A and B are shown apart, each in its own frame.
Chain A
């Protein structure tokens, strides 16, 4: 735990900064013309979505290394990425409906991006289930699922988008009013740093677990002698 204290401290400072300062900035940002106050959810909703997808690709990357090169580090990155995907995905899936309620009048409307996020989230929840309950070979199984999941994202997106679509257009970021850009990029920046801090913490935990496994083996060796 000694090595990880700095990281926990940084995470806390980030949380303090991000969640005290950002709301001030966000409240001061110009109100969006058509959607009003509730649009301010977007400053946390969109970064969460980007990080959810980042987590998925981090997990897929680690999984590829683990599957094809038997890289233990890859496996650690995989599980850490998956947990962050589930965490940030949950944030997207909760804040989305809260925004949708005001913007569209209903909690859920099978909008492309929310639906794709939901499916991605479910795939990575299944990843965590597979790791836990998949029996021997569970980690490789989960890694395979992560690979399938990452490859599936564009296909899910295309098929769902032809199926339904109401989400605000993608260009909501570039055409942000000048006053909104600052708080948005600040928010995104804070979230991204938070993502990597959390990733670091989680990787540290996995490395500690790997060391414990080695210790177990060492103890068993001693007992066998």
Chain B
């Protein structure tokens, strides 16, 4: 079966499963909201938060929610042992990884919509006119983060400390995404177009490199130790 069709089919399967259960979407969206609330209490004591703080809160909330969501998504896979079943099927390996990545990106898109709306409300984030580029930042940043986290999430298998290991392995690697995301968002919100474009391109490069590597090593990683 051709690559794109397999990936699309697998993505559709994940969407349907989630539509029936709805567990993952509700839980992660709610988690994101709670994290934002916690940040609100931490930072909104006095004067309005600076642009730096808002950008930081946005991206940290996304990283935390993403970690939780990805962890939970693969937990569900483990329970049904579906990953192993997929690996045994004749589907192209890269398609399995890409479909997982797309599914997570879709989940994160929903979460991010809610997060941005809440931030406009609670943190007085003013997106005025910069909405398309903010969406681009969120999309590219999420893709970079998810590319790494999904790969590790899938490979952690039945490791006992997998909940702690996922952030431990992912966060140091995705620091450039965090820096690019926050600095880029700040540039966007303060009207510095050139800097924002730079960070957007940086994220594009990061995504290109890491999605390529991840697609390439997905199979050896899941095959396990020889």
Residues of chain A whose beta carbon lies under 8 Å from any beta carbon of chain B: 67-68, 70, 72, 119, 122-123, 126, 129-130, 133-141, 144-145, 147-149, 151-152, 155-156, 158-160, 162-163
In the complex, whether B156 has a CB less than 8 A from a CB of chain A is: yes
Give the dominant DSSP class at B's interface: helix
Q: Chain B residues near A123 (CB, 8 Å)? A: 172-173
Q: Chain B residues near A156 (CB, 8 Å)? A: 175-176
Q: Chain A residues near B223 (CB, 8 Å)? A: 137, 140
Residue from A126, A140, A147 in contact with B225 in the complex, judged by beta carbons closer than 8 Å: A140
Q: How many A-B residue pairs have CB under 8 A?
A: 103
Q: State which size class the interface on B falls in.
A: 35 or more
Some 11 contacts from A to B, beta carbons below 8 A apart, are A67-B217, A68-B220, A123-B172, A134-B159, A135-B158, A138-B159, A139-B225, A144-B217, A144-B220, A148-B173, A148-B210
Residue of B nearest to A121 (CB): B172
Residue of B nearest to A64 (CB): B217
Q: Chain A residues near B213 (CB, 8 Å)? A: 147-148, 151
Q: Chain A residues near B151 (CB, 8 Å)? A: 144
In the complex, whether B155 has a CB less than 8 A from a CB of chain A is: yes
Given A130-B165, A158-B202, decide whether A137 and B179 contact each other with a Cβ distance below 8 A: no
In the complex, whether B122 has a CB less than 8 A from a CB of chain A is: no
Q: Chain A residues near B42 (CB, 8 Å)? A: none
Residues of chain B whose beta carbon lies under 8 Å from any beta carbon of chain A: 148, 151-152, 155-162, 165, 168-169, 172-173, 175-176, 179-180, 183, 202, 205-206, 209-210, 213, 217, 220-226
Say yes or no: B217 contacts A155, CB within 8 Å. Answer: no
* Cα distance, A83 to B160, chains bound together (Å): 23
